[in-house]
């Protein structure tokens, strides 16, 4: 059974804090293992990648087989069904349109003393996207990572997808085609991250790595950060639903389980102003779990991390939600737009009873790569902004330097940086000659 909390309980604050501080990540220490893998790939390049792929994915590859050929991609992706292709085409188009609106403009202006200031935006040269393989094989992840990069103007997108025992989901390859991925490698795990970060003779290095993965992939991304950029360190998925009286318990139960079925460490939380609704939802969850295909995953998630909280008002619900800072937030209330104004911390918000979080996972258009583990307090979901960089620009005329130069000399002197000050002094002298 999930944890039941009531806001009016004297012990509520303590129990709520325990939930906020609970760890849901894999507790095994993988840092040293990942460090060894990264160092091995950095040193032995393709040879290490081939050996590690054989060890972990049970597939023996030659250098020329590390990537899928165009013929392989065409042949395998054609095995998708007509319905799958139509759905992926629809999703790709909606995701592309949504992200096109995120593209910023270059800006410049001249201030009142004649200094021209501004900034310009430039796409990254090369990006690597990691897509889980095997049981957790998600073509939607390809769309969500590759399309924003393409919209941003990234010239080269390299995709890493593990193929355990040589198997690949054809829909993943079709998604890569419609997203504009340039290279696809059948490599996974920390060795894939290492190859993208450091480069090999067969796999050129990239500037940034994005996409979800297991604890080894997440740890590898953390360790290569600084040498290359990364999107985020994603933890287990999570959903928070705020519900008022007028809701269908079965619908909410399905929404809670749609996150629970991702991972045994995923978390589903319901905050409701109606305690009876919470009890009905819990019963519906148990009923659904009895026949759910992924009950062996969703069951432990709900049992170990499921939470139902009763609150006296939607204002209190919003306050608690902002403390949780959920990855996904559903506002199943009569006036979701009014409640949205009170929400400050959430990865993505789904408004109204007819907007399940699954809309955002696939077809809605917004990105489903989102901050987890309360990191929505300080970060955002993946966007075009992750694939471009801002460069500031300054142009100073002689008259403008004459105006600000003495202040620069003063500040440089106060910091003991002689050359800084004299670089301005030498120019000011020229103006008086």
- CATH class of the structural domain 31-103+123-230: alpha beta
pLDDT at 63: 96
pLDDT at 135: 53
- CATH class of the structural domain 3-25+235-364: alpha beta
pLDDT digits (tens, 9 = 90+) for 108-122: 999 999 999 999 999
Domain ranges of the chain: 3-25+235-364, 31-103+123-230, 396-432
pLDDT at 388: 98
Residues in the chain with pLDDT < 50? none
Give the sign of the dihedral formed by CA 182, CA 184, CA 185, CA 190: positive
pLDDT digits (tens, 9 = 90+) for 47-101: 999 999 999 999 999 999 999 999 999 999 999 999 999 999 999 999 999 999 9
The catalytic residue positions are: 327-328
Structure tokens at 386: 């992750």
CATH topology of domain 396-432: 1.20.5
Q: What is the pTM of this model?
A: 0.94
One fold for both 3-25+235-364 and 31-103+123-230? yes
pLDDT at 429: 95
Residue 11's CB is within 10 A of a number of other CB atoms, namely: 10
pLDDT at 75: 96
Strand partners, 241: 270, 330
pLDDT at 185: 98
């Amino acid at each position: 059974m999930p944890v039941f909390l009531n806001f009016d309980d004297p012990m509520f604050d303590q129990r709520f804090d325990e939930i906020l501080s609970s760890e849901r990540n894999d507790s095994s220490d993988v840092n040293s293992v990942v460090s060894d893998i990264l160092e091995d790939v950095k040193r032995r390049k393709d040879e290490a990648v081939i050996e590690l792929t054989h060890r972990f994915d049970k597939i023996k590859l030659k250098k020329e087989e590390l990537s899928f050929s165009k013929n392989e991609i065409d042949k395998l992706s054609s095995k998708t069904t007509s319905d799958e292709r139509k759905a992926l085409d629809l999703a790709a188009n909606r995701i592309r349109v949504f992200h096109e609106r995120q593209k910023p403009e270059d800006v410049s202006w001249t201030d009142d003393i004649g200094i021209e200031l501004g900034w310009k935006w430039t796409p990254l040269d090369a990006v690597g996207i990691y897509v889980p393989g095997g049981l957790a094989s998600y073509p939607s992840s390809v769309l969500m990572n590759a399309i924003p990069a393409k919209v941003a103007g990234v010239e080269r997108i390299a995709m890493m997808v593990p193929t355990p025992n040589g198997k690949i989901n054809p829909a993943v390859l079709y998604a890569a085609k419609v997203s504009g991925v340039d290279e696809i490698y059948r490599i996974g795990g920390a060795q894939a991250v290492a190859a993208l970060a450091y480069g090999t003779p067969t796999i050129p290095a990239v500037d940034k790595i994005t996409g979800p993965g297991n604890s080894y992939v997440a740890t590898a991304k953390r360790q290569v950060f600084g040498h290359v950029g990364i999107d985020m360190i994603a933890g287990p998925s999570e959903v928070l639903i705020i519900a008022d009286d007028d809701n269908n318990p079965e619908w909410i139960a399905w929404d809670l389980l749609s996150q629970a079925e991702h991972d045994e460490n995923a978390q589903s939380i319901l905050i409701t102003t109606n305690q009876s609704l919470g009890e009905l939802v819990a019963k519906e969850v148990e009923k659904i779990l009895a026949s759910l295909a992924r009950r062996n995953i969703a069951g432990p998630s709900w049992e170990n991390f499921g939470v139902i909280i009763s609150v006296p008002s939607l204002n209190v619900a919003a306050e608690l939600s902002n403390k949780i800072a959920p990855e996904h937030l559903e506002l199943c209330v009569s006036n979701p737009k009014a409640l949205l104004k009170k929400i400050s911390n959430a990865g993505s918000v789904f408004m109204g009873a007819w907007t399940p979080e699954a809309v955002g996972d696939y077809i809605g258009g917004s990105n489903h790569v989102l901050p987890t583990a309360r990191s929505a307090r300080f970060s955002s979901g993946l966007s075009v902004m992750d694939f471009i960089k801002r460069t500031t620009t300054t142009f100073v005329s002689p008259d403008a330097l004459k105006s600000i130069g003495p202040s620069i000399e003063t500040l440089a002197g106060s910091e003991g940086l002689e050359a800084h000050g004299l670089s301005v002094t030498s120019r000011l002298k020229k103006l008086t000659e």
